Chains A and B, each alone.
Chain A
Amino acid sequence: MEVMKKMTMNNNLEELLKTLETIRNDEYPELPKDLLEKLLKVEYDNQDNRVDAQTKAVKLIDEYFTTLVDRA
């Protein structure tokens, strides 16, 4: 039987990023790629603390919008 490739934690994050990037690239190229990467990382690193994850995610979006929209 073939040896199966095993996923590591990093591979999983890459798979998640790849999924979102496929959609962003096809449908919403105007969205910053790194915003989605950072959002995903915040969720990934705070899986056991939802309150922290939400606070950080909302703050991250706000900071990006301040740069993208307010300062544009």
Chain B
Amino acid sequence: MLHFLSLTIENFGPFKGLQRIDFPSNGGVTIIWGNNGLGKTTLLNVFRYALFGKVHGRGSKTHSLKQIANWESYDEGVYGFKIDLTMNNDGDVLELTRQYSVRPGVAKPESDNDYIESVFLKNGTTILSNEKRDHVLNSIMPEQVSRFFLFDGELLQEYEDLLVDENSISEKIKEAIERILGVPVLTNGLVDVIKAEKDYGQSYSKVAQKNQATQQFGNMLGAKQAEQKNHEDELATLKTTLEDLQKERQSLEEEMQQTTKVRDWLKEKKIKEDIIEKKKETLEVKLNAVKELTKRAWQGKLSQRISDALVQLEAEINVYEDKKSKHLISLQLMDELKTGCRTGTCPVCGIKMDSAGLFVMKDKIASCEIGFEGLKAEEKGKLDELQGRRAQLKKLTSEELKVKIVMLESVIDDIRVEICDAEQRVNDLAKNIRESGINTSKAGAVSQKHAKCLQKIEATKDGITNEQGILNKVAAEIKNIEDKLKPSATGNAELIKAQKKLELCKKIKHVFERGVKLYRENLKQKVEKDASKIFVSISNQQEYTGLQINENYGLAIVHQTKRIVEIRSAGYEHIVALSLIGALHKNAPLQGPIIMDSPFGRLDPDHKRKITGVLPKLADQVLLLVYCGEIDEQEARKVLGSDLKNEYKLVLQTAFHTKIEKG
């Protein structure tokens, strides 16, 4: 089991000069209190740098090492940094030193190239060789599983991704979980036994080819084995390609996130520029219309005369139109009266008329015919002429012209304002794009590249499925040939031996295949059981009875009704992630300290108290990095009791200098 004994930091991050943290040899919890910006996350990076030579920024991106050196020391001419980590691993006292110092001959370092890094691992008094050093470090704390020992509360979202299948992050975490649980010992064993099986298979086909009785089958077998090898190589290539494409996809997605704003600005700028173009065309049309209308502005001088002429014309037209409408009305009346005469019925009241009444009606008809004559031919012509002249004069009236010009000018003003606003927006967008410093042609191209990358990923996955199908078919064909070859081996001692070896190897392979499945199933059950215990002890929700594990080691909350709680809060995400980490530590062959940076996130005080209480049970040695107020200090001391071995404080000296103080 791995224990940290002491940590010495020199000029790393805000930790200027030489500073030291001592850890009790009997495990327990050490709390380091530090408010924002004083170096809590940097402390996590101190361990990460010491063990793996890497430093993570926010979102687990790797930092350039030159940026890590303390700035005040740099200004004072003290360059580089150093970490000394002393550990006890099952009785061996190991001292790990990792140093970043100025390359000889460089007066003032400006880039990473001006530094050299040296790493030493001492076991007792012996400095280990580089190979031995790497082997020891990899066995006590492999980088692949570091996330379960150096726990960053900000990256909890990754554990929720375990619930989602087919995700590059969840694949990585799943691999890391299986690594920490010891599964690769079996999966690697299976790979190696399969290699042995292939070798024996080839020997078998070669021996069969040597004998005339079995030559044909031997040749067929050899050909199929070669075909199988080709497809296996092709499958391996496709899997490597898929891995590279997934990495490319992740990189493009990060780039897209960074360039989302710029792409949105570019899009909006294009739309605005198109609008400006269209508006300018419309403006041109309207301006031309105004130009045409103002050509007739001289008509304003004649407006009075035109008005007078129109009045006279209207009067003359009214005389003819009046006569015309009276004639039309009389025609209607005569129609009614004629119908009454024909039917002998009054057209108004409908009563049967006598001969006197009929006489009166006929007289009325005659007087209408005389009194309400229609327009004569020359009168119709005159009326048409007068109406035509009226229409012409109306076109010349300046009032109508004035109204039209005013309307057009109002529309033109609106368009000009719209163009002006759009041009201002285009200028603002161009300025934003320029100041972002992002290459616009790259920004525009990145989403196309991403779409192409996704297409390639799908095509590669199809290729993999295809190859796997072919390989299954070829494996069945090989088995078929081997079954046919078996009876022919009688009397051929060499062939019989080759056959036996191949069969034994296949059996070993089956043991490992079944072993991998069985071990995984057992592990998952244990992790689920242990994680559920931790979860139930932390959670305040009585109706949540435990956790259910999936293929990716993702954990879902189970309600007492057996329903799965599909959506969970950020707080419960914390609790589930911590339960998983606790269960993994309990079941992992690798035992070591856990360092937790702000693990409490959005938890309420009650849950914080419960998690604090569980910490000593997650690992023998726990280092907790929290800000004052993240958990209540008195409450933490009370809950941890004798399990709390040490406390330190990060104390601000200047913006670039933090001091680690005991107590």
Q: A61–B591 Cα gap in the complex (Å)?
A: 32
Tell which of A4, A65, A70 touches B617, judged by Cβ atoms closer than 8 Å. Answer: A4
Per-position binary interface string of chain A over residues 13-26, scored 1 when its CB falls under 8 Å from any chain B CB and 0 otherwise: 10110011011100
List residues of B (501-560) whose CB comes within 8 Å of A's CBs.
501, 504-505, 507-508, 510-512, 514-515, 518-519, 522, 530, 533, 537
Chain B residues 567 to 603 lying within 8 A of chain A, measured CB to CB, are 585-591
**Residue B189 at the A interface, CB < 8 A?**
yes
Given A40, A54, A62, which contacts B191 in the complex, CB threshold below 8 Å? A54
CA–CA, A35 and B512, complex, Å: 12
Partner of B504, one of A1, A19, A31, A48: A31
Q: What are the residues of chain A within 8 A of B508 when measuring CB–CB? A: 31, 35-36, 39, 61
Among A20, A44, A68, A69, contact of B512 (Cβ-Cβ < 8 Å): A20
By the criterion CB–CB under 8 Å, are B192 and A47 in contact? no
Report how many A-B pairs have Cβ atoms within 8 Å: 119
Count of chain A residues near B, Cβ 8 A:
43
Interface string of A36-55 (1 = CB under 8 A from B): 10011001100111100110
Interface flags for B1-12 (1: CB within 8 Å of A; 0: not) read: 100000000000
Q: Which of B156-164, B178-186, B245-253, B307-315 touches A? A: B178-186
The answer to whether A40 and B185 have CB atoms under 8 Å apart is yes
Q: How far is the CA of A11 from the CA of B589 in the complex (A)?
A: 7
| Secondary structure dominating the interface of B | helix
B510 touches A47 (CB 8 A): no
Contact assessment for A40 and B189 in the assembled complex, using a CB-CB cutoff below 8 Å: yes
**Given the interface contacts A11-B589, A19-B518, A61-B508, does A47 sit within 8 Å of B189 by beta carbon?**
no
Cα of A11 to Cα of B185 in the assembled complex, Å: 14
Task: Give the docked Cα–Cα distance between A5 and B529 (Å).
Answer: 13
User: Is the C-beta of B193 less than 8 angstroms from some C-beta in chain A?
Assistant: yes
Report the minimum CB–CB distance from A46 to chain B (whole Å): 9
- Are A16 and B188 CB-contacts (below 8 A) given A23-B515, A58-B196? no
Whether the pair B589, A9 counts as a contact (CB closer than 8 A) is yes
Q: Are A8 and B589 in contact (CB under 8 A)?
A: yes
On chain B, the residues within 8 Å of A4 by CB distance are 530, 586, 617
- Asked if B189 contacts A43 (CB within 8 A), the reply is yes
* A5 → chain B closest CB, angstroms: 8
How many angstroms between the C-alpha atoms of A27 and B589 in the bound complex? 28
Interface string of B478-506 (1 = CB under 8 A from A): 00000000000000000001001100110
Contact yes or no, B192 A16, CB < 8 A: no
Most A Cβ at <10 Å: residue of B185, B507, B590: B185
User: Once the chains are docked, how many angstroms separate the CA of A69 from the CA of B507?
Assistant: 15
A16 near B182: Cβ-Cβ < 8 Å: yes
B192: contacting residue among A6, A7, A20, A54, CB under 8 A = A54
Q: Are B515 and A47 in contact (CB under 8 A)?
A: no
Contacts of B188 in A (CB 8 A): 43, 47, 50, 53
Q: Decide yes or no whether B199 CB sits under 8 A from chain A.
A: yes
Is there an interface contact between A57 and B511, defined as CB atoms closer than 8 Å?
A: no
CB of B138 closer than 8 Å to a CB of A: yes
Whether A8 lies near B182 (C-beta < 8 A) is no
The reply to whether A1 and B192 form a contact with Cβ atoms under 8 Å apart is no
The docked-state distance in angstroms from the alpha carbon of A44 to that of B182 is: 9
Given the known interface contacts A8-B591, A47-B188, A68-B504, the answer about A23 and B199 at a Cβ–Cβ threshold of 8 Å is no
Chain B stretch 128-162: residues in CB contact (< 8 A) with chain A = 134-135, 138-139, 142
- Tell me, yes or no, whether B195 is within 8 Å of chain A by CB: yes
Cα(A3)–Cα(B504), bound, Å: 44
Report yes or no: A43 in contact with B192, Cβ–Cβ below 8 A: yes
Given A12-B182, A23-B518, A58-B192, do A69 and B504 touch, yes or no (CB 8 Å)? yes
* B639 contacts the other chain (CB 8 A): no
Residue contact B500 to A69, C-beta cutoff 8 Å: yes
Contact B519 A16 (CB under 8 A): yes
Residue in B182, B195, B500, B533 whose CB lies within 8 Å of A58: B195
Contact B586 A61 (CB under 8 A): no
Shortest CB-to-CB span from A29 to chain B, Å, is: 10
In the complex, the answer to whether A57 meets B617 with C-beta atoms within 8 Å is: no
- Does B614 make an interface contact (CB < 8 A)? yes
B304 → A minimal CB distance (Å): 106
- Which residues of B have CB within 8 Å of A19? 186, 515, 518-519, 522
Q: Are B504 and A23 in contact (CB under 8 A)?
A: no
Q: State A9–B508 Cα separation when bound (angstroms).
A: 24
Contacts of A68 in B (CB 8 A): 504
Q: Given A4-B530, A7-B588, A58-B192, answer yes or no on A20-B511 (Cβ-Cβ < 8 Å).
A: yes
For the complex, what is the distance from the CA of A44 to the CA of B184, rounded to whole Å?
9
Q: Which of A4, A13, A57, A62 has the most CB of B within 10 A?
A: A4
Given contacts A1-B614, A47-B188, 13 further A-B contacts (CB under 8 A): A1-B537, A7-B587, A7-B588, A19-B519, A28-B507, A30-B507, A31-B508, A31-B511, A50-B188, A57-B193, A58-B196, A61-B508, A65-B505
Binding site for A on B (CB under 8 A): 1, 134-135, 138-139, 142, 182, 184-186, 188-189, 191-193, 195-196, 199, 497, 500-501, 504-505, 507-508, 510-512, 514-515, 518-519, 522, 530, 533, 537, 585-591, 614, 617, 620
